[in-house]
Amino acid sequence: MTEPQLTTRTATVRDAPAIVAIYNEGIADRIATFETSPRSVDQILDWFDDRHPIVIVLDEAGEIAGYAATFSYADRCCYAGIAEFSVYVRRANRGQGVGVVGMKALIEEAAKAGFWKLLSRVFVENKASLALLRSVGFREVGVHEKHGKLDGDWRDVIAVELILEANIT
């Protein structure tokens, strides 16, 4: 069996409906985010701020199979080069390398945008995401215990980070 041909490109606001659909699948699955309410397109439009890269992954048919996005980490100027990130894959495309392709493209775009570090937090149970992130160079920094409640249950998360070496001088 041949691997699907995946391509990436920078996301635009025209991609927002597909991004929301994929994000809402992740919300419903309860394995990737503390969010519990589905999002609307209007609620994510501020992601497109011309500072924080967002990439989409297209499958062989040109359909959006996943996305990876960066977000502001903190308001303090000393953290201006650090971005939080998330990566989500459409249910139908999971296990096909979409997340790896998306993260590699996001890492490249984040470095081009001048970021020196990417970081996130991943539920300890989300073994697929943790394996994906290890495969593209992220290290696990530690566990934040009882980081938040999801559906009334405390959840632990693993902090992950990647130093973008090209921007460390």
pLDDT tens digits along 117-147:
999 999 999 999 999 999 999 999 999 999 9
Evaluate if residue 169 carries a pLDDT over 90: no
Query: Where is pLDDT greater, at 135 or 166?
Result: 135
Q: How many CB atoms lie within 10 A of CB 18?
A: 18
Evaluate if residue 101 carries a pLDDT over 60: yes
Q: How far apart are CA 40 and CA 73, in angstroms?
A: 22
The per-residue pLDDT for 160 is: 98
* pTM as predicted: 0.94
Domain residue ranges of the chain, discontinuous segments joined by +: 7-167
Evaluate if residue 1 carries a pLDDT over 60: no
Burial tier of 4 (Cβ tally within 10 Å: 0-12, 13-18, 19+):
middle
SS3 string of 116-132? CEEEEEEECCCHHHHHH
The per-residue pLDDT for 39 is: 97
The per-residue pLDDT for 92 is: 95
Mean pLDDT of the chain: 95
Mean pLDDT computed over 29-53: 96
Evaluate if residue 9 carries a pLDDT over 90: yes
Mean pLDDT computed over 148-157: 97
Mean pLDDT computed over 35-56: 97
7-167 maps to which CATH number?
3.40.630.30
The per-residue pLDDT for 167 is: 67
